[in-house]
Amino acid sequence: MRSLTILGATGSIGQSTIDLIARDPGRWRIEALTGGRNVALLARDARRLGARIAVCADPAGLGDLRAALAGSGIEAAAGPAALAEAAARPADIAVSAIVGAAGLVPGLAVLERGGTLALANKETLVCAGPLVMARAQATGGRILPVDSEHSAIFQALAGEDVAGVERVIITASGGALRDWPFERLATATVADASAHPNWSMGQRITIDSASMFNKALEVIEAREFFGLDPRQIEVLVHPQSVVHALVGFRDGALMAHVGPADMRHAIGYALHWPERRALPVARLDLAAVGSLTFSTPDPVRWPALALARAVMAAGGTMGAVFNAAKEVALDAFLAGRIAFTAMSVVVERTLDRMLPEAGPQGAAMTLDLVMGTDHLARIRAGEIIDRME
* Residues near ligand NDP, by CB under 6 A: 8-14, 35-38, 57, 83, 97-99, 102, 120-123, 147-148, 199, 201-202, 204-205, 263
243-249, strands of its sheet edge to edge: 233-237, 165-172, 243-249, 254-258
Dihedral of alpha carbons 12, 18, 22, 24, sign:
positive
Full DSSP string of 156-203? HTTTS-GGGEEEEEEEE---TTTTS-GGGGGG--HHHHT--SS----H
Give the span between the Cα atoms of 78 and 180, in whole angstroms: 43
Query: Closest approach of Cβ 166 to ligand NDP, in Å?
Result: 25
Whose CB is nearest to ligand NDP? Answer: 11
Residue 56 to residue 68: CA distance in whole angstroms: 12
Give 91 or 349: the residue with its C-beta nearer to ligand NDP. 91
- Cβ distance to ligand NDP smaller for residue 68 or 349: 68
The least CB distance from residue 120 to ligand NDP, in Å, is 3
- CB of residue 261 to ligand NDP, shortest distance in Å: 9
How far apart are CB 118 and ligand NDP at their closest, in Å? 11
**End-to-end Cα, the chain, rounded Å:** 55
Other Cβ atoms closer than 10 A to 330: 24
Spatial separation of the C-alpha atoms in residues 255 and 283, rounded to whole Å: 19
Nearest-approach distance from CB 362 to ligand NDP, in angstroms:
30
Please identify, using beta-carbon distances, which residue of 319 and 353 lies nearer to ligand NDP. Answer: 319
Q: Which is nearer to ligand NDP, 42 or 384 (CB)?
A: 42
CB of 327 or CB of 353, closer to ligand NDP: 327
Give me the amino acid identity at 96: S
